[in-house]
Amino acid sequence: MNPGLLLCILLLIIPVLQFAQDDSAHPGPATQPVNAVGKTMPLDAAPLARQVFSFHLPEPTTLDIGIAVYEATGAVFSFEGLTRLDHNNELLPAAADRWEPSPDGTRWTFHLRRGAKWSDGRPVTAHDFEYAFKRMVDPASANRNASFYYEIEGAKAFNQGLTRNADSVGVKAIDDHTLVIRTTLPCPYLPYIASFPTSVPVPRWQVEKYGQGWSEAGRFVTNSTFKLDSWDHGSRFEFVLDPNYNGPHKGYVERIVGKFLDTRMMAGGTLSYENDEIDMQDVTPIDLPRVKSHPRLSGELDVSKDFMTHFLFFNADYAPFGNLKVRQAISHAIDRQVICRVLLQDLGEPAYSMLPPGFPGYAGGKYRDIQRFDPDLARLRLREAGYPEGRGFPRIEMWINNMARQQVGQAIQEMLKTHLGIDMSIRVVENISYRTAQYQRKIPFSLIQYHYDYPDPNNMLAMVWRSQPAGYSRHPWINAAFDRLVDEAASEMDEVRRFQLYDEAQRILSEDAGAVFLYYGKKASLRKPWLKGIKRDRDGEYPFWGNNTGYFDIYIGDGGR
């Protein structure tokens, strides 16, 4: 071979060999770690040992969320229903892979995921869901949300004691993987009801063995990606990933730590967050100015929509609230703009009807004048009611179940005194006691809120305001025209017509002052920079929908803590 040619070949080969040697000395990216449920962690995730999410909550009195949603605060991630909502409030498969209605819309068939297991290793079956749904409406369970399921055939009659036959409730497991739910009338939103956090299975064998104590540590069996690891009463609970879970909503974080907070301390304060004891915290209007001006906290603040409507409700059984003119006078005496701008620091938008902005069926400003702030009209209505300048008006008491709303209550107290001459006192009641009194119709007048359960007008109109006997609904307001409209809308399969009916019902609710609407809330929260995975929605916001997929999407980013 020509010596010159040989030299050229060697000069070409040597760099290649050197490159191969360098490449072996500096391998490519390591394989991403996989967590306890086999989920591959994101590239920017911290090591698995640091995948712990901590937050504050009032201590639950039970974790039996299926029949005690208010008492089971913080348990929304421990069970998986048939369906789930995503960060855009769209339906996703969960325990059911798929579902379909019958041609007439009165029979929904849900097909359960194969291989699903409870945290104790037993299979999750359609029979578990049948048992749970019937338990939800069993009067013996005293479920305050039982009316959510009245669309199901026989549910209302069974719940209200008109029959004692649980088998009359239209929920039936055809086999281990097929559940059929029959409704009295067509029900186009039934898959949304199935996504509500209370629409979950329960382990019958544990419930029947331990009774009310079945949700304690060591007994609590769940079907979610998270299972209870410990519950230290008075201090905290901890959930960990469950390797038995084989579904589509596997969590990233290895552990969730809920640190119990005294409910008397929930009106404000960010000390625990600033001390890195928790990873996320809601911010009250009281704390918002300081947070916004803080050099570090201001960069960790997120303000997003929250489909929540705040309002005053009345019990017509308590004088003088049975008088429409009185309710109208109060509606015209409240300056919502001042409440939102000054007290809420713009964490609220004035409300004049029930459905909030962005929610399906939102009315925009079309009903603004019905309950507008108009002191002169307020005084006229009170005079027409027989109480000129407030003379002869009985002293009234406003109930509140959250210290954070006390400042708003005090503002309303001053407005009613200034514009109507009405004297009002405020009574702050612990939440569980408040809910009991509410369902027993013992609250004459209250400042309260309603947070949506699923994105359909039926939820925030019919399920809240459709009249029911005492003990079976939140509010005592009765209006036959409203009831007829929401009943007709509930079974209307044409969406345009459905929304027209709900819109008309919403107008009646405002005109009859079933509630005095105050503001639509926004949610402000502090989130540590290492808390990742909260998704941007179609409106460009980053809401943390805890009832949806929020707990399953979050993870701890590297470089944090």
pLDDT > 70: percent of the chain: 93
3-state SS, residue 74: coil
For residue 515, what are the β-bridge partners? 313
φ, ψ of residue 508 in degrees (nearest 5): -60, -40
Cβ atoms within 10 Å of 282's Cβ, excluding its own: 18
Is residue 494 within 8 Å of residue 526, measured between CB atoms? Answer: no
Does the pLDDT value for residue 3 go beyond 50?
Answer: no
DSSP 492: -
348-350 and 445-451: which strand pairing? unpaired
As a whole number of angstroms, the distance between CA 37 and CA 250 comes to 7
Does the pLDDT value for residue 10 go beyond 80?
Answer: no
- Token pair of 472 as six digits: 């079976």
As a whole number of angstroms, the distance between CA 479 and CA 27 comes to 73
As a whole number of angstroms, the distance between CA 167 and CA 196 comes to 23
As a whole number of angstroms, the distance between CA 116 and CA 438 comes to 39
Q: How far is CA 263 from the centre of its chain?
A: 19
280-282 and 52-57: which strand pairing? unpaired
Q: In the predicted model, what is the mean pLDDT of residues 23-49?
A: 79
Q: In the predicted model, what is the mean pLDDT of residues 518-532?
A: 96
Query: What residue spans of 317-405 are helical by DSSP H?
Result: 324-332, 336-338, 375-384
∠ CA 447-448-452, nearest 5°, is 155
As a whole number of angstroms, the distance between CA 250 and CA 483 comes to 41
396-400 and 424-428: which strand pairing? parallel
Q: What is the per-residue pLDDT for 21? A: 39
φ, ψ of residue 499 in degrees (nearest 5): -70, -30
- Average pLDDT over the chain reads 91
As a whole number of angstroms, the distance between CA 81 and CA 539 comes to 27
**pTM for the model:** 0.88
3-state SS, residue 238: strand
Does the pLDDT value for residue 107 go beyond 90?
Answer: yes
Q: What is the per-residue pLDDT for 32? A: 86
Question: Which residues fall within 8 angstroms of residue 410, CB to CB, at 6 or more apart?
Answer: 426
Does the pLDDT value for residue 8 go beyond 60?
Answer: no
Q: What is the per-residue pLDDT for 473? A: 83
Stated as kind and residue range, the H or E segment containing 24 is helix 3-25
For residue 396, what are the β-bridge partners? 424
Going 35 to 38 to 43 to 44, the CA torsion angle's sign is: negative
- Reference 419, options 526, 356, 335; nearest CA is 335
Spell out where 83-205 has E strands.
83-85, 91-93, 96-101, 107-112, 171-175, 178-182
Does the pLDDT value for residue 11 go beyond 90?
Answer: no
Q: What is the per-residue pLDDT for 37? A: 96
Confidence band for 223, pLDDT divided at 50, 70 and 90: very high
For 439-473, write each residue's pLDDT tens digit. 899 999 999 999 999 999 999 999 999 998 888 88
Does the pLDDT value for residue 173 go beyond 50?
Answer: yes
Q: What is the per-residue pLDDT for 281? A: 95
| Residue of 70 and 362 predicted with greater confidence | 362
Domains, the chain, ranges and CATH?
58-213 (3.90.76.10), 304-522 (3.10.105.10)
Q: In the predicted model, what is the mean pLDDT of residues 37-61?
A: 95
Stated as kind and residue range, the H or E segment containing 444 is none
For 366-424, write each residue's pLDDT tens digit. 999 999 999 999 999 999 999 999 999 999 999 998 877 889 999 999 999 999 999 99
Does the pLDDT value for residue 5 go beyond 50?
Answer: no
Q: In the predicted model, what is the mean pLDDT of residues 105-128?
A: 98
Is residue 476 within 8 Å of residue 515, measured between CB atoms? Answer: no
Does the pLDDT value for residue 25 go beyond 60?
Answer: no
- Reference 400, options 418, 413, 417; nearest CA is 413
φ, ψ of residue 327 in degrees (nearest 5): -60, -40
- Token pair of 372 as six digits: 């507008």
- Reference 219, options 284, 211, 160; nearest CA is 211
Q: Side chain identity at 107, as an amino acid letter?
A: R
Cβ atoms within 10 Å of 273's Cβ, excluding its own: 25
Is residue 107 within 8 Å of residue 152, measured between CB atoms? Answer: no
Least confident stretch, 94-103, 173-182, 259-268, 308-317: 259-268
Q: What is the per-residue pLDDT for 182? A: 98
Q: In the predicted model, what is the mean pLDDT of residues 514-538?
A: 96
Cβ atoms within 10 Å of 487's Cβ, excluding its own: 15
For 320-365, write each residue's pLDDT tens digit. 999 999 999 999 999 999 999 999 999 999 999 999 999 999 998 8
As a whole number of angstroms, the distance between CA 202 and CA 80 comes to 10
Q: In the predicted model, what is the mean pLDDT of residues 204-226?
A: 97
- Reference 352, options 338, 340, 369; nearest CA is 369
φ, ψ of residue 95 in degrees (nearest 5): -65, -25
Q: What is the per-residue pLDDT for 13? A: 37
CA Rg, the chain, in Å? 27
Q: What is the per-residue pLDDT for 116? A: 98
> Virtual CA dihedral for 153, 155, 156, 157, nearest 10 degrees?
90
Query: What residue spans of 120-270 are helical by DSSP H?
Result: 126-136, 155-159, 190-193, 204-210
| Residue of 17 and 352 predicted with greater confidence | 352
Least confident stretch, 99-113, 152-166, 315-329, 537-551: 537-551
- Per-state percent for the chain, helix, strand, coil, to nearest 5: 35, 20, 45
Q: What is the per-residue pLDDT for 445? A: 94
Question: Which residues fall within 8 angstroms of residue 370, CB to CB, at 6 or more apart?
Answer: 331, 352, 353, 507, 510, 511
Q: Side chain identity at 102, as an amino acid letter?
A: S
Q: What is the per-residue pLDDT for 268? A: 64
Is residue 553 within 8 Å of residue 252, measured between CB atoms? Answer: yes
As a whole number of angstroms, the distance between CA 543 and CA 559 comes to 23
Q: In the predicted model, what is the mean pLDDT of residues 136-148?
A: 94
Q: What is the per-residue pLDDT for 260? A: 95
Does the pLDDT value for residue 2 go beyond 90?
Answer: no
- Token pair of 463 as six digits: 């399920």
Q: What is the per-residue pLDDT for 431? A: 84
3-state SS, residue 15: helix
